[in-house]
Amino acid sequence: MDTEETTRPLEENSGQPVKEEVGSVQQPGRFVFSNESLKKQMRPSEFFAEKVITGVAFLSIAIIILIFLFVFRETLPIFSGKAVTKTEITPIKQETNGSSGQSRNDNKQEVYGGSEPAAPATKQEVYGATADTTKDTVVSGEAGISSYKEDESGAGNKVTLKGLAGKVWMPVSDRPRYGLLPLIVGTLKITIIAILFAAPLAILAALFSAAFAPRWMREIIKPAIEILAGFPSVVIGFFALIIMATFFQHLFGYETRLNAFVGGVAMALAAIPIIFTVTEDVMTAVPSTYKEASLALGASKWQTAFFVTLPAAAPGIFAAVLLGIGRIFGETMIVLMATGNAALISLSPFDSVRTLSATIGAEMAEVVFGDTHYSVLFLIGTLLFVFTFALNATAEFYVKGRLMTRLQGKT
């Protein structure tokens, strides 16, 4: 900063160092009035403050690095093959509602990959999903059978890369299997459904707010939509679980009450505010000369909005959608509560799904510290972290690089 440059000459002109900070003026030898000594004169308090502040500022960088290191560190046993062999099945505490009798049964019978691989479907049975147990069981049963042979290698206590690519996620069983594929499919499904709802709604709403709404209306719309960002995700999850799930079931008449669709729509609610806010900011930043030129050429208001404002803001909108995807990817509570949490591979939006983040949230509390399951959950965490980091970095540099040159460089 230039503040230092402004203070120094002043001191030199006055010929006498400013007396301040009682503690710092104690050494008599310091008052020699030459430029040389004045340059070297370092007030301890100033020096100290600057160093401390700079040091603390590095903390945020350190935290990011530490997060990566420590989340990754816990996954290392997988790669070194030193993971503790699981000796007993971790007790499953998390089932208490009406169906628990049946679920518990299923969990006990858990025969790997054979006719009854019901574990993933029943383990996290949440409220209301009771009726679906049978169906889920059947579906995951098929998946289990078809992938049985492929999974052979990864089925043991040691996790191999091939095992991680498997199609069955069944960490709590006699022969635990850690196929991440169903979780990845589940996450992608939720993300696609959520973004299909959130992106158009949020972008159109932002366009309305930036291009059509009069000033007074914009000042209502913006804070109103930002209220949504203030909803704790557990509240959105609760709403989806209790209200939305029942409503959609009546509306569409599907079987599984908690499914990817419900989770996706609820997730859209979480993604809308971030997409809206970023898009709106970018659209208001489009230079008014663009719009004026378009209007002067005889284009109507909506033509200007759709063919001038929207394209000009495109890179920013892209970044907004990326940020929205990042939000959806990492969100845990909503999916944990509203998607049914069955690790199936299916393309139907009306089947239960289990996402990467929900898997961590649901299972981490019950694993034995240091065993394979624990490490695999941390591996999932590492994947999530790396992915959101990449998304964020892409959004950031894309916006910086493209948008700023487009909007500022050329105007």
Partner 1 sequence: MMGATGLSVVIIIAVIVIMLVVIIIGGKDTISWKFLTTFPQDGMTKGGIFPALYGTALMVIIMSVAAVPFGAITALYLTEYAKESSWIAKTVQFAVRTLSMVPSIIFGLFGLGFFIKFVGGGIDKIFSGGQLIWAQPNILWASLTMALLTLPVVIVSVEESIRAVPRDLRDASLALGATKWQTIRKVVIPGARSGILTGTILAVSRGAGEVAPILFTGAAYYLATLPHSLSDQFMSLGYHIYIMSTQSVNVDQTLPIQFATTMVLLLLTFTLNFVAVLLRSRLRRAQ
Among 12, 25, 38, 67, binds partner 1 (CB under 8 A): 67
Handedness of CA 249, 252, 253, 256 (dihedral sign): negative
Closest CA to 276 of 215, 223, 340, 233: 223
| Binding region for partner 1 (CB under 8 A) out of 132-140, 155-163, 165-173, 297-305 | 297-305
In the range 122-151, which residues lie near partner 1 by CB under 8 A? 126-128
State yes or no: residue 350 binds partner 1 (CB under 8 A): no
The dihedral formed by the CA atoms of 387, 389, 394 and 397, expressed in degrees to the nearest 10: -170
Number of chain residues interacting with partner 1 (CB under 8 A): 100
Closest CA to 239 of 267, 206, 266: 266
Min separation Cβ 155 and partner 1, Å: 26
Q: What x/- string results for residues 15 through 54 when contact with partner 1 is judged by CB under 8 A? A: ---x-x----------------------x-xx--xx-xxx
State yes or no: residue 242 binds partner 1 (CB under 8 A): yes
CA distances, 208 to each of 203, 284, 311 (Å): 9, 11, 15
Tokens linked to 64: 């990011």
Nearer to partner 1 (CB atom), residue 143 or residue 312: 312
State yes or no: residue 372 binds partner 1 (CB under 8 A): no
Q: What x/- string results for residues 306 through 345 when contact with partner 1 is judged by CB under 8 A? A: x----------------x--x--xxxxx--xx--------
Min separation Cβ 341 and partner 1, Å: 9
Among 180, 308, 384, 399, binds partner 1 (CB under 8 A): 384
| Binding region for partner 1 (CB under 8 A) out of 79-87, 181-189, 194-202, 278-286 | 194-202
H or E, element range at 410: none
Contact predicate 312/290, CB 8 Å: yes
State yes or no: residue 262 binds partner 1 (CB under 8 A): no
| Strand ranges (E), 145-250 | 169-170, 177-178
Half-sphere exposure of 206 (CA within 13 A, CB side): 30
Q: What x/- string results for residues 163 through 192 when contact with partner 1 is judged by CB under 8 A? A: ------------------------------
State yes or no: residue 115 binds partner 1 (CB under 8 A): no
Nearer to partner 1 (CB atom), residue 114 or residue 223: 223
d(C-alpha 249, C-alpha 344), whole Å? 20
State yes or no: residue 294 binds partner 1 (CB under 8 A): no
State yes or no: residue 121 binds partner 1 (CB under 8 A): no
Min separation Cβ 1 and partner 1, Å: 7
Contact predicate 88/157, CB 8 Å: no
| Binding region for partner 1 (CB under 8 A) out of 131-139, 150-158, 221-229, 402-410 | 221-229
| Binding region for partner 1 (CB under 8 A) out of 30-38, 150-158, 161-169, 198-206 | 198-206
- Cβ burial 323-333 (10 Å sphere, 16+ → b, else e): bbbbbbbebbb
Contact predicate 267/324, CB 8 Å: no
d(C-alpha 197, C-alpha 240), whole Å? 15
Tokens linked to 119: 């574990």
State yes or no: residue 245 binds partner 1 (CB under 8 A): no
Nearer to partner 1 (CB atom), residue 145 or residue 238: 238
Tokens linked to 319: 């970044």
